[in-house]
Structure 1
């Protein structure tokens, strides 16, 4: 896993498992809404704090479980900080994509990368690999933070 700094924390991409289904509840809807309201990666604790300040009664365990279910379903992207903490961000599409992530504020932009797809296929083929998956995250400083 590659590591970089996002919003002052070292992060590594976290692999995502197969989809897991869960029942729809008010608490899960509140977690999803809180995640929809931010552009940057947030930890479960940070989202729990946002919900608490809004007056939503959602337990931290429910936040973690909901985020894991969303990650398993491919609805959120997950990175891991250098301290091992998972941080989450809502995917705008379920399609394969890559990210530009600001190291300063954590803002992330989803991007498609046909050249990356071709490169990954070529490298895998040259080494005899098949059924290859990949993830590419590009880290830098966004225009707002650079100004």
Structure 2
């Protein structure tokens, strides 16, 4: 084994300048953003980083649990820095504003379903999409 692997055989993530730039861009926003939007913001800030590098950094951050990933209605992956605790998201379809939410009823239901069917080590993802109050007000003013 060389220095780039650990006992799991997976490559060790090196903290490169580009990865740190992606991390900083992620922490600068509260909303979900596409890799292309993150890449564009980095380029505007003078960072020399390729789109493929942004995708790799985001995948590494997702694998490490540092960012959440969800699929939009159109199937596109979007990314957001989130808290480390288990949570769900309420996302505005129009502007992307995102709120982390708890779902105790969902947690109880998921555990009950797993027990009933004899499953263990169950995980789940629940995302809610709607229109935030600001976008509702904008739409009413149109």
Shorter-normalised TM-score: what interval? Answer: 0.7 to 0.9
Pairing 1:101–2:119 present: no
TM-score (norm 1): 0.79
Alignment match, 2:115: 125
Answer yes or no: is the 8 Å Cα contact 1:20–1:73 preserved in 2.
Answer: no
Following superposition, the deviation at residue 126 of structure 1 comes to: 2.1
Look at both structures and tell me which one has the larger radius of gyration over its CA atoms.
2
Pairing 1:61–2:52 present: yes
TM-score (norm 2): 0.81
Alignment match, 2:79: 88
- RMSD in angstroms over aligned alpha carbons? 1.8
Secondary structure of 1:42's aligned partner: coil
Higher helix share: 2
Q: Structure 1: any 5+ residue segments left out of the alignment?
A: 1-18
Moved more, 62-71 or 75-84: 75-84
Pairing 1:43–2:34 present: yes
Answer yes or no: is the 8 Å Cα contact 1:48–1:59 preserved in 2.
Answer: yes
Aligned equivalents of 2:73, 2:94: Cα separation in 1: 15
Higher strand share: 1
Secondary structure of 1:64's aligned partner: helix
What number of residue pairs does the alignment pair up?
128
Alignment match, 1:77: 68
Aligned equivalents of 1:109, 1:81: Cα separation in 2: 15
Aligned equivalents of 1:20, 1:97: Cα separation in 2: 28
